[in-house]
Amino acid sequence: MLPLAAARACLSSPAPPPRPQPRAAPLSPLHRRRSTATLPRPARIPLLRPLGATAGAGASSRPARDHVIEFGKHKGQMLGTLPPSYLRWVVAELDCGDTLVWARLAREVLDDPVYVNRVEWEHAHRFLRGDSKFDYVYNDGDGALQEMAER
């Protein structure tokens, strides 16, 4: 127990000042905005196409060869890296129902000049290198290439 003098000291000390109660933020009227008539107008930039125009069904900003395939043995690869025989199979077999989109993309890749150029260069490279896996005859106008290789 506390001695009586200590207890009186505790009782006689002034009470701590009351804490101020937190006030809710006063509701203030919305600030008035400046008139837009005083602000400078941005320069008009000519658009390449109207904003309301759509690109069409299934159109995308990236080429078809850059789409990643989500099925089959080539899952996870871009369409532009697949062999033409597989793309022709996709066009022939998947041209209906839910897979119609993939057939359309494969058809676009086969018609893409960048893809055709890559396939032709790979063909010429294998032929000129004398690849052992490349011993079958291609009859698509390689007479000039074969003639150059034999010189």
Question: Exposure string (b/e) for 44-59, b if CB count within 10 Å is 16 or more?
Answer: eeeeeeeeeeeeeeee
CA 107 remoteness from chain centre: 21
Give residue limits of the domains in the chain. 61-111, 113-151
pLDDT tens track for 100-144 = 999 999 999 999 998 888 888 888 888 888 876 655 555 556 666
pLDDT tens track for 15-39 = 777 777 766 665 656 555 555 556 6
- Report the distance separating Cα 106 and Cα 97, nearest Å: 15
Average pLDDT over residues 41-68: 64
Indicate the pLDDT class of residue 52, thresholds 50, 70 and 90: very low
Phi, then psi, of 26 in degrees rounded to 5? -65, 140
Handedness of CA 106, 111, 117, 122 (dihedral sign): positive
Q: Which residue has the higher pLDDT, 66 or 151?
A: 66
